[in-house]
Amino acid sequence: MALNSSQKAKYERLVLRELSAVLPSQFQWTTPGALITVTDVRLSPDLSIARIQLSVYPLEYRSTVLNHCEENKGAIRFALGQRLRSKMRRVPELYFYIDEFYDKLERINQLLKK
Protein backbone atom coordinates (compact mmCIF):
# COMPACT_ATOMS: atom_id res chain seq x y z
CA MET A 1 0.00 0.00 0.00
CA ALA A 2 1.52 3.28 -1.11
CA LEU A 3 1.13 6.30 1.13
CA ASN A 4 0.81 9.82 -0.15
CA SER A 5 3.15 12.47 1.22
CA SER A 6 0.68 13.88 3.75
CA GLN A 7 0.00 10.43 5.23
CA LYS A 8 3.72 9.71 5.45
CA ALA A 9 4.31 13.11 7.11
CA LYS A 10 1.61 12.27 9.66
CA TYR A 11 3.40 9.05 10.61
CA GLU A 12 6.76 10.86 10.76
CA ARG A 13 5.32 13.41 13.21
CA LEU A 14 3.77 10.59 15.25
CA VAL A 15 7.07 8.70 15.53
CA LEU A 16 8.91 11.96 16.37
CA ARG A 17 6.45 12.82 19.15
CA GLU A 18 6.45 9.33 20.69
CA LEU A 19 10.21 8.89 20.41
CA SER A 20 10.68 12.27 22.10
CA ALA A 21 8.72 10.88 25.03
CA VAL A 22 10.64 7.56 25.11
CA LEU A 23 14.25 8.78 24.84
CA PRO A 24 14.63 10.78 28.08
CA SER A 25 14.05 7.66 30.18
CA GLN A 26 16.76 5.84 28.20
CA PHE A 27 19.43 8.44 29.01
CA GLN A 28 18.71 9.50 32.58
CA TRP A 29 21.62 7.42 33.98
CA THR A 30 24.17 7.50 31.16
CA THR A 31 24.25 11.25 30.40
CA PRO A 32 22.99 13.25 33.39
CA GLY A 33 22.36 16.87 32.48
CA ALA A 34 22.41 16.28 28.73
CA LEU A 35 19.71 17.75 26.54
CA ILE A 36 18.72 15.24 23.86
CA THR A 37 16.18 16.31 21.27
CA VAL A 38 14.70 14.40 18.34
CA THR A 39 14.90 17.00 15.57
CA ASP A 40 13.71 14.98 12.58
CA VAL A 41 12.31 11.59 11.61
CA ARG A 42 12.31 10.33 8.02
CA LEU A 43 10.39 7.16 7.26
CA SER A 44 10.91 4.94 4.25
CA PRO A 45 7.95 4.76 1.83
CA ASP A 46 6.80 1.44 3.32
CA LEU A 47 7.26 2.76 6.92
CA SER A 48 9.70 -0.05 7.77
CA ILE A 49 12.77 2.14 8.40
CA ALA A 50 13.04 5.32 10.47
CA ARG A 51 16.07 7.60 10.21
CA ILE A 52 16.19 9.69 13.36
CA GLN A 53 18.17 12.92 13.74
CA LEU A 54 19.23 13.73 17.31
CA SER A 55 20.48 17.03 18.66
CA VAL A 56 22.69 16.65 21.74
CA TYR A 57 23.84 19.37 24.10
CA PRO A 58 26.51 19.64 25.50
CA LEU A 59 28.45 18.52 22.47
CA GLU A 60 30.81 16.19 24.34
CA TYR A 61 27.92 13.77 24.95
CA ARG A 62 27.33 13.17 21.22
CA SER A 63 29.33 9.97 20.87
CA THR A 64 28.01 8.62 24.17
CA VAL A 65 24.41 9.22 23.11
CA LEU A 66 24.90 7.72 19.66
CA ASN A 67 26.66 4.63 21.08
CA HIS A 68 23.94 4.19 23.70
CA CYS A 69 21.23 4.41 21.02
CA GLU A 70 22.97 1.76 18.92
CA GLU A 71 23.55 -0.56 21.89
CA ASN A 72 19.97 -0.21 23.17
CA LYS A 73 18.16 -0.01 19.84
CA GLY A 74 16.00 -3.01 20.73
CA ALA A 75 14.83 -1.57 24.05
CA ILE A 76 14.11 1.82 22.46
CA ARG A 77 12.16 0.16 19.64
CA PHE A 78 10.20 -1.94 22.14
CA ALA A 79 9.29 1.12 24.24
CA LEU A 80 8.29 2.96 21.05
CA GLY A 81 6.19 -0.03 20.00
CA GLN A 82 4.32 0.06 23.30
CA ARG A 83 3.32 3.66 22.58
CA LEU A 84 2.52 3.10 18.88
CA ARG A 85 0.68 -0.18 19.35
CA SER A 86 -2.75 1.08 18.30
CA LYS A 87 -1.52 3.64 15.77
CA MET A 88 0.90 1.76 13.50
CA ARG A 89 0.78 -1.81 12.31
CA ARG A 90 4.54 -2.31 12.50
CA VAL A 91 7.24 -0.48 14.44
CA PRO A 92 9.97 0.74 12.06
CA GLU A 93 13.60 -0.30 12.35
CA LEU A 94 15.51 2.60 13.94
CA TYR A 95 18.69 4.25 12.66
CA PHE A 96 20.12 7.13 14.68
CA TYR A 97 22.18 10.06 13.40
CA ILE A 98 23.53 13.24 15.00
CA ASP A 99 22.01 16.44 13.64
CA GLU A 100 24.84 18.70 12.46
CA PHE A 101 22.68 21.86 12.26
CA TYR A 102 24.21 23.60 15.28
CA ASP A 103 27.76 22.91 14.06
CA LYS A 104 26.92 24.57 10.76
CA LEU A 105 25.26 27.48 12.56
CA GLU A 106 28.33 27.99 14.76
CA ARG A 107 30.62 27.96 11.71
CA ILE A 108 28.46 30.58 10.00
CA ASN A 109 28.52 32.78 13.11
CA GLN A 110 32.30 32.52 13.30
CA LEU A 111 32.61 33.47 9.63
CA LEU A 112 30.30 36.43 10.09
CA LYS A 113 32.35 37.69 13.05
CA LYS A 114 35.53 37.78 10.91
* CATH superfamily, domain at 5-113: K homology (KH) domain (3.30.300.20)
User: pTM for the whole thing?
Assistant: 0.82
75 pLDDT band, cuts 50/70/90, is very high
Start-to-end CA span in the chain (Å)? 53
44-71 pLDDT, tens digit per residue, is: 999 999 999 998 888 888 888 889 899 9
**Percent of the residues in the chain that have a pLDDT greater than 70, as a whole number:** 96
Can you name the residues that pair with 51 across neighbouring β-strands?
Answer: 42, 95
pLDDT recorded at residue 2: 65
Distance between CA atoms of residues 25 and 55, nearest Å = 16
